[in-house]
Structure 1
């Protein structure tokens, strides 16, 4: 399923807001590290890109403007790369092992009385993110500790 770049970036932003940033998940999923790096790059890279272009033009002269702009564009593209990775990942189907874990958590949460939508036949990572966010927000730490 081909997705446009703008839709992928939008999905990445939503996935970044949905994914629970819990210490227990850092070792299990790369999302936590990618989200942290993407948030940091969104703050730092625009300034670093502008400073790099200005410094290169100042040191190398205007003759090196194309190279300086290419390096600046690289720095500015790093946050977009993180958002695109997250958007692509959010729309991938869960592998069989994670799917069974997703269904197990979903069943246990329903047993605890959480109001959830019925599980999908082919869940994607964004459904797992919503389920984990609900679990960490609504259930106590003793209950979620058993899963990790």
Structure 2
């Protein structure tokens, strides 16, 4: 989740960008929402609703964990052929400009794509 660049223009090219942004949002705000829901249920429902409040609390609290797991599963998947070709061209271009970066060229995964995008943005920032 942290490896994917936080650049809005990526949403035009990659559907994964939207999933990463949702994951970041969920990871940041849902633990607070879970605690708020727990406290409000106890405040308005009293002690006899403790079991229900705990169920809601743990369910909402599990959503960020689910998001991280799903993003991790996606990061380990191989890129589709068209995107893999684009990735290989990007690695070749970065290597032509800066030397030798160590990224896989055989069966790249989404995590490799995120790394390449980070390197590309870092190089474009240094060249300006």
With the length of structure 2 as denominator, give the TM-score of the two structures.
0.84
Secondary structure of the residue aligned to 2:2 is helix
Gaps of 5+ in 2: none
The Cα of 1:128 is off from its aligned counterpart by 0.9
Residue in 2 aligned with 1:65? 50
Change (3 A) 1:36 1:104: same
Q: Is the 8 A contact 2:4 2:118 kept in 1?
A: yes
2:88 touches 2:105 (CA, 8 Å); kept in 1? no
* Total equivalences in the alignment: 127
Equivalents in 2 of 1:80, 1:18: separation in Å? 17
Calculate the aligned-residue CA RMSD, in Å.
Answer: 2.2
Deviation at residue 140 of structure 1 after TM alignment: 5.9
Residue in 2 aligned with 1:102? 87
Structure-1 residue corresponding to 2:26: 41
Task: Flag structure 1 segments of 5+ consecutive residues without an equivalent.
Answer: 1-15, 143-148
- Cα distance in 2, alignment partners of residues 141 and 128 from structure 1: 20
Instruction: Give 1:20 shift.
Output: 1.3
The alignment's TM-score, normalised by the length of structure 1, stands at 0.74
